[in-house]
Amino acid sequence: MLGKNFYYQGGDLLCDGIKIENIVQKYSTPVFIYSEPHIKENLNRINKAINGKQITVCYAVKANPALSILKLAGTKNLGFDVVSEGEMRRVLKSSPEPKIVFSGVGKTDEEIRFALQNEIFSLNVESLPELNRVNMVANGLNIRAPVSIRINPDVNPDTHPYIATGLRENKFGLSMEDGMNAYKTAQSLPFIDIKGIDCHIGSQILSLEPFEQATEKVLSFIDQLMKETGIVLSHINLGGGLGIPYSDNENPPSLEHFLNVTSDVVINWYRKRGLNPPHLVYELGRSVVGNSGILVAKVLYLKNTMESNGKNFAVIDAAMNDLIRPTLYNAHHEVVPVTMKKKTCSNKWEIVGPICESGDWLAKNRELSLSEGDLICFFSAGAYCSSMASNYNSRRKPAEVIVSCDNTVREIVRRESYDEILNREIT
C-alpha cells in the first residue's frame, strides 16, 4: 500500500512530502487526504494507453464526486459517467462542455429532461419502460434522445455480490433477448436516436477474464443486431469495474493492460469483418482514484477487554458513516499508524467507531501498537468512501483535503457544520 505517494520518513507517514500529522493539526480528524500527483499519474496513464485510438474514458463520478477531482479528470480530457441529476450538475459545474453518459435503472422524467436539455452524450437505457419514457420526454422537448441500451451479458465478475451487476438475476440492463427487442422498439420510436450499446458487469474485478467474456458477448450481440435490424452502432460502452489492490496480495491488471486488451478485442473483431470499429467508451471510477486517498482518524479510547469478552476495541473518531465499505461489503482497508513508535508493544484490535450499531466497525483483528490520542490511517480510501458518507447519528461529514503537485495542501471539501445539518429542518 505504501509507495511513491504515501510513505514513511523517519517514522512519520507522509503524503507527497507533507507530514500527515501536520495536515491533521490544521484540519483535524476524521479527514480524507488525497494525492493529486497520484490521481494525475493515473489520468496520464489512461491518456497514454488510449492515445491514437478512438476511445473516451469516462470518470465514474460516484467513486468520488468532489468538484476538484472532477475538474482534474476534465482537464485531462476524460468524459463522465453519472447516475443522477445531482452528479450531472456537479460535472457541469466543474468542466466546460463535458462528454457525459448517464447510467442507472431509475432515471426520473426530470432527470431525463435535465440530461437532454444539457446535451447528454448518451442515456444508457436499462429497460423497455425507460426507453418509452425517454421517447416521451424527448418528444416534449422536440429533440431526439441519444441512447445506448444496456445489455446484461450474464458474466460472473467474481466480486462481492453487492457490486456484481452483470448477472442474469441483477436489476441492471436487459438480457440478450430483451435487449434485441428493445433495439427493435427503439427503431420505431421517433424521438430515439440509437447511438450505442452499453454494459457494466461489476466493480473491484481483479482479472481480465470476465471483461473479455463480457466483451465477446457484447460483440456477438452486435453481430446478431446488425443481421436482424441493420442497426450500425456508433459507440460501444464497456463500462468500468477494474479493481485496485486493497492489500498487497491483490494484483489487478494495470489500467494500460485493461484498456489495451479489451479495446483490441473490439478493434480486431471489427477489422476481421472489414468494418470500421466504433468509438469505444469506458466508465472507470475506483481504478482512477481508489488508491489515491486515505482516511485519517484519531484513537479516542482503548478498551482492553480481551480477558472479559475475547476482544480488544480501539474506539476511533471515524465511523461507519465515514467509511461504510468494511461493514457493507466486508471490505478490507489496510490500517497503519501515522507515527511509528520506537518501542512497540502491539495488540490485536477491533477498530470501531462511536456509532450505536455493532456493525460500526472499520477493521477487525489488526495487530497495532496503539495509545489513546494516536492517529491511524486507512489506505485505499479514495473511491466509494467519502461519496458513501452519511450523517447517521447526526455526525458531520468529514473534511477532504488534497496534497497538490506543488506540495501545498488544499481543503477541497469543508468539514460539515452542525448548522448545515440542522438547517434543512422545518420546525
Catalytic positions are 356
- Pick the stretch among 177-185, 239-247, 260-268, 406-414 that binds ligand PLP (CB under 6 A): 239-247
* Complex with ligand PLP: residue 242 or 402, whichever CB lies closer: 242
Give the SS3 label for residue 393: helix
* Complex with ligand PLP: residue 57 or 401, whichever CB lies closer: 57
* Count of helix runs (H) and strand runs (E) in the chain: 13, 20
Among 146, 173, 241, 337, binds ligand PLP (CB under 6 A): 241
- Pick the stretch among 224-232, 238-246, 328-336, 357-365 that binds ligand PLP (CB under 6 A): 238-246
Among 16, 36, 81, 360, binds ligand PLP (CB under 6 A): 81
Q: Verify binding: residue 60, ligand PLP, rule CB under 6 A.
A: yes
Quickly count: other Cβ atoms within 10 Å of residue 18's Cβ. Answer: 17
**Minimum distance from residue 133 beta carbon to ligand PLP (Å):** 19
Among 30, 166, 196, 239, binds ligand PLP (CB under 6 A): 239
- Pick the stretch among 85-93, 245-253, 285-293, 324-332 that binds ligand PLP (CB under 6 A): 285-293
Q: Verify binding: residue 103, ligand PLP, rule CB under 6 A.
A: yes
Angle, helix 36-50 to helix 67-75, in steps of 10 degrees? 30
**Minimum distance from residue 383 beta carbon to ligand PLP (Å):** 6
Which residue in 104, 103, 113 sits closest to 134, CA to CA?
A: 113
- Pick the stretch among 7-15, 19-27, 279-287, 309-317 that binds ligand PLP (CB under 6 A): 279-287
Task: Give per-residue burial for 188-201: e unless 16+ CB within 10 Å, then b.
Answer: ebebbbbbbbbbbb
Give a three-class secondary structure readout of 295-328. Answer: EEEEEEEEECCHHHHCCCEEEECCCCCCCCHHHH
**Minimum distance from residue 69 beta carbon to ligand PLP (Å):** 13
Q: Tell how far CA 149 is from the center of its chain.
A: 21
Q: Verify binding: residue 79, ligand PLP, rule CB under 6 A.
A: no
Q: Verify binding: residue 283, ligand PLP, rule CB under 6 A.
A: yes
* Complex with ligand PLP: residue 46 or 376, whichever CB lies closer: 46
Quickly count: other Cβ atoms within 10 Å of residue 354's Cβ. Answer: 16
Rounded CA Rg of the chain: 23
Cα–Cα distance, 349 to 410 (Å, whole number): 33
**382 within 8 A of 293, measured Cβ to Cβ:** yes
Q: Verify binding: residue 286, ligand PLP, rule CB under 6 A.
A: yes
**Minimum distance from residue 61 beta carbon to ligand PLP (Å):** 9
Cα–Cα distance, 107 to 124 (Å, whole number): 10
* Complex with ligand PLP: residue 282 or 349, whichever CB lies closer: 282
Which residue in 282, 182, 285 sits closest to 237, CA to CA?
A: 282
Here's the x/- map for ligand PLP, 152-171, by CB under 6 A: it reads as -------------x------
Cα–Cα distance, 400 to 411 (Å, whole number): 6
- Pick the stretch among 216-224, 277-285, 303-311, 363-371 that binds ligand PLP (CB under 6 A): 277-285
Please give the residues from 329 up to 358 whose contact with ligand PLP meets the rule CB under 6 A.
none
Q: Measure Cα distances from 135 to 6, 247, 418 in Å.
A: 49, 46, 43
Q: Verify binding: residue 63, ligand PLP, rule CB under 6 A.
A: yes
Count residues near ligand PLP (CB under 6 A).
16
Binding site for ligand PLP (CB under 6 A): 60, 63, 81, 103, 165, 200, 203, 239-242, 283-287
